[in-house]
Every structure is written in structure tokens, then in C-alpha cells.
Structure 1
Amino acid sequence: MSVSPTVLIIGASRGLGLALAGEWLSRGWAVLATVRGAGRTALHGLADASDGRLAIEPLEMTDPAAVDALRDRLSGRDLDLLFVNAAVANGAGERVDQVTTEEFTRVMVTNALGPMRIVERLGGLVRPDGMIAVMSSSLGSVALNETGGWEVYRGSKAALNTLMRSYAARQAGDRRSLALVDPGWVRTEMGGAEASLGIDQSIPGVADALEARRGRPGLRYFDYRGETVPW
């Protein structure tokens, strides 16, 4: 009897994370997914209909103690995929010098430092032939930044990409796949109503691209179509 592969999704109460949980369930995976706070979310409804294949864990990703507690609760579990999705947005038109120090810190901690803490502290749960993936964005590409805008958000995703490259450099010889994924501009609460893609266009593609990368060591930066994004 085959054992279903297991994914842990960090940040799955709504939007892309929620859709990812549903997508992996539809593919026969066992899903662990985190939410902030104790309130009921759409993810809980998905869990109710999952026949026990979706388990929910509380997590405040920016709290190191909470991350360590989650690691301890999951001790002994083997993950085939760790996917860090959680992020926050920042205004499109604001120059970096126009945001407060507190807002700059909030975005950088949530979008760059927080995900890397997850990778560092939970990465040991991933099987030697598994995958660690982080939701990035084409806005994090330095090469593609020809229009400006979204300065703090761009900076946070560029920082995330650089930190993942540093992580990969420290993992020489590791057989696990590492991925930075651009889901495209998607119509979610964060992406807004003017976005060019629906969730049903983005997320199946993200899952397909990740599946195609499984078993291939090293770090890659690609979009929901599986196409390489320039650094």
C-alpha cells in the first residue's frame, strides 16, 4: 500500500495558500497547513471535507518561538514538500523613503526574514529527496525591474531571493530541490481585482511546476508555467 506524499503549507487560511491546500488534496496528498490566530477560516471548512487528510496548525510566522513550537509538534514527521506562502503587500505608489520605519520593518520581516526562519528551522523535516519551496514574485527580479513601483514589496522579495540563494550555497551536495515560485499576478485580496490571472489559472500551474522539479537538486526561480524567472 503506497503512502500519500505530505506537504506543509505555511500560510493557508485564504488566497493562494488556501488554493494550494485544495490543489494538493485533489492530487491525493496529505496536507498540513498553518493559520494565524484561533478563529475559524475557509481552511477549516476544507479540512472538514477532507476525510482527515488536511490537518491545521496554528502559527504566527514572525514569532521565532512559535516556529520552534511547530517544529517540536511535527517532530518525527517526514515532509515531501515544505511550501512557505505567507507574505504581506505594501502600497504600489510609495517610494521607499515615504514609508515609515515600522512599515518597512513589517514587510521585510514578514516577506524575507520570516520565510527564511521557516526554511532554516523546519527544513530538517523534509525528506532527503524532498523539496523546499517559497512563494516569491517576478517583482523580486532585479533584472525585470524596469518600471519601478512596489518598491518595498519588490525589495522584500529580492531580499528573499538572495537569502534563498545563500541558503542553497550552504547546502552543497544536498539532494533536495529548492524553489522560488512566482505565481503570477493573481486576483486575490492581495493581488486585487485588476490582476490578470484567476486562482484557477495560477495554482494548478504552480503545483505542476513543483511536481516537475521534484527529485532535481539545486535552487531554481520559476513561474506558474514552469518558466525560468531572471534574477
Structure 2
Amino acid sequence: MTTTLITGANRGIGLEFCKQYLHEGHQVIACCREPEQADELQALAQDHIDQLELVALDITDDSQLSGLQDYLTGRQIDLLISNAGAYGPKGLPLGEYQAEHFEQVMAVNVTAPLMLVQSLMLHLAQGAKIALLSSKMGSITDNGSGGSYVYRASKSAINAIGKSLAIDLSPKGTCVTIFHPGWVQTDMGGPNALITTEVSVRGMRHVLEQSSLADSGKFLNYDGTELPW
């Protein structure tokens, strides 16, 4: 049975990944800060008692990452989906940014995914796959509107990290895919977004299923289209 670990699993894209991979028969380890408060995730767990594991995890907390390592003792991960993320302040004009605006977003979107992968390296199965959820807003080439300094910077940074991970983990056969999930109807994307979580996740799943080591380190749209850096 394929073992899949998902962060930010309590809502939105992370929750949809849980639903679809459970349907595909995976053993799913769903991580979020307060699983006891995640009603939909709890309901899923009741329906998949032997298949879905809920783990409390703040990905910015080193001690909790160590606890996750202990929880996984003797086990291997076939698919790791780093989904948890933060947007930060929206609509701030240039001139009103503060250094503190960057601290939480960079911690969640940049430092935490690297620490997560680093802490789970020994638990990655041979030929494991990693999905890092980024955004097209991290593309420097695609930036035609400016603004959104915090979010753009964080996603450009995770793109760089993903590319390095692809190189450094290649000896173990690990394929790293960096995704733009699309403009998705979530709390972050808003109700006017173009696609549903179901469409986004279905597309990313298909890309992951088809991916090989030759594809590692690519920055891809949810439908598999390669994106500019």
C-alpha cells in the first residue's frame, strides 16, 4: 500500500488530496496544527479508520517535526505533499510593508517545507515522490503586475529550494515536483477563483503518477504545463 503524508490537510487543497488518495487506496497521514478542530478531516477519519491517520503538526515547530520523525519510526513514505502555506498581508501598497510581515510567511512557505523534507529524508522510500505546492506568483518571468511582495518572494524562494532538493535527492531516486495548483476556490483563493479543489488535485495527481526522475525539479501547472521561473 502506498503511504502518503500531507501537510495542511485540514482544508482546501490538502483536504482534497486526502479524499482523493483515500479513494485510491493509499494509507494517508494527514498533518495539520489542530486535527481535533478539523470537522471534515475527523469525518473522513471515521469513514477510513484503518486508512487515515491524523497527526497534530505545526510545521514551523522543530520539536513537532522531531515528534513526527518518532511517529514514523520503522516506516517509509512513498509520497510527501508539502501543502501547508500562508499568504500574508493582502493589498498593501509599496511604502507600508514591515519586516515582520515577512517573518511568518517565510517561515511557513519557505523554511518549513525544507525542514520537513530534511527531517523525513531517512523515511523516504527508494523512488519516493515529493510535491511542493508553490504558485505562479513565484515566477519572476510571469510577474506583470507587481505588488504582493511577501507572497511572491516566498514562492520564488520555495521554487529555488525545490530545484536544489531535486538535485540533492536524485541519488535516492526521489522525484521532486514544484506545483502551481491553479487559481483554486479555497479560503486563500477566494470564491471567484477559476477551478475547484477537485479539479486542481485531480490534475496534480495525474502529473505525479506520470512523473519520473527525468522530470524532477520542474515547475509545473496543475495540468502538467511547464512554467517559467
TM-score of the superposition, structure 1-length normalised? 0.92
Give ranges in structure 1 of 5+ residues lacking alignment: none
Q: Residue 37 of structure 1 corresponds to which residue in structure 2?
A: 34
Q: Measured at CA, do residues 12 and 38 of structure 1 come closer, stay the same or move farther in structure 2, by a change above 3 Å? A: closer
Aligned-pair RMSD on alpha carbons? 1.7
Among 2, 14, 17, the alignment partner of 2:14 is 17
2:168 alignment partner AA: R
Distance 1:28 1:39 in 2: 24
Distance 1:16 1:78 in 2: 23
2:185 alignment partner AA: R
Mean CA deviation greater in 130-139 or 93-102: 93-102
2:164 alignment partner AA: S
Deviation at 1:97, TM superposition (A): 4.8
Question: Does structure 2 conserve the Cα–Cα contact (< 8 Å) formed by 1:140 and 1:157?
Answer: yes
Mean CA deviation greater in 86-95 or 106-115: 86-95
Moved over 4 A (4+): 214-217
The equivalences for 1:165-180 within 5 A come to: 165-180=163-178
The equivalences for 1:73-152 within 5 A come to: 73-95=71-93, 97-152=95-150
Question: Does structure 1 conserve the Cα–Cα contact (< 8 Å) formed by 2:9 and 2:15?
Answer: yes
Q: Measured at CA, do residues 96 and 158 of structure 1 come closer, stay the same or move farther in structure 2, by a change above 3 Å? A: farther
Give ranges in structure 2 of 5+ residues lacking alignment: none
Q: Measured at CA, do residues 96 and 214 of structure 1 come closer, stay the same or move farther in structure 2, by a change above 3 Å? A: farther
TM-score of the superposition, structure 2-length normalised? 0.93
2:23 alignment partner AA: S
Give the secondary structure class of the aligned counterpart of 2:218: strand
Give the secondary structure class of the aligned counterpart of 1:39: helix
Deviation at 1:217, TM superposition (A): 6.2
Deviation at 1:210, TM superposition (A): 1.0
Q: Residue 209 of structure 1 corresponds to which residue in structure 2?
A: 207
Distance 2:186 2:170 in 1: 37
Give the secondary structure class of the aligned counterpart of 1:202: helix
Deviation at 1:82, TM superposition (A): 0.7
Question: Does structure 2 conserve the Cα–Cα contact (< 8 Å) formed by 1:135 and 1:180?
Answer: yes
Distance 1:34 1:97 in 2: 37
Distance 1:208 1:172 in 2: 21
